[in-house]
């Protein structure tokens, strides 16, 4: 649980960060669970269960990018078919519309923090030295 909360605290401030294992994000109820009980070769998953989206992550795989990717699946709610193969720009795995949507959500989530006015101001002051 401590690893999960630490990883969640590292999420960028540009999108809703979870301070607990459960929250409603953009109207979607989301719960997080750190568990070893995932299929072999799977580090994380997102599934709808009882009116909320459950994100399950292996203890050693809890990173803010993985959490944002799985959150992308929750927010997508199965509507990504219109996304097509746009995710191929990231990696071959993301050519599947659902994975491409989730990858794009996660990457843009972090890119937005990199181009925020606060980051730009910090970058400018560092370059002036």
| pLDDT at residue 113 in the model | 56
Name the token pair of 47.
């599934």
Name the token pair of 43.
């580090």
| pLDDT at residue 117 in the model | 52
Q: Is 77 left (phi over 0), alpha (psi -120 to 50) or beta?
A: left
Element (H, E) at 29: strand 28-34
CA distances (Å), origin 9, targets 17, 69, 119: 7, 16, 18
The tens digit of pLDDT for each residue in 72-116 reads 888 887 666 666 666 677 777 777 777 877 887 888 877 765 555
- The mean predicted confidence, pLDDT, of the chain is 71
Q: Which of 74, 64, 51, 54 is nearest to 113 (CA)?
A: 64
| pLDDT at residue 114 in the model | 53
| pLDDT at residue 7 in the model | 46
Phi, psi for 92 (deg, rounded to 5) = -60, -40
Answer whether 0.75 is exceeded by the pTM: no
């Amino acid at each position: 649980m401590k690893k999960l909360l630490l990883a969640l605290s590292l999420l960028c401030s540009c999108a809703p960060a979870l301070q607990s294992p459960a929250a409603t994000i953009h109207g979607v109820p989301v719960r997080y669970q750190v568990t070893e009980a995932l299929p072999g070769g799977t580090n994380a998953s997102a599934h709808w269960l009882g009116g909320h989206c459950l994100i399950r992550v292996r203890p050693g795989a809890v990173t803010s990018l993985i959490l944002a990717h799985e959150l992308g699946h929750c927010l997508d709610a199965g509507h990504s078919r219109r996304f097509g193969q746009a995710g191929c720009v990231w990696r071959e795995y993301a050519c599947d519309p659902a994975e491409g949507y989730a990858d794009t959500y996660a990457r843009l989530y972090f890119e937005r923090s990199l181009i925020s006015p606060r980051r730009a101001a910090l970058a400018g002051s560092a370059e002036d030295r």
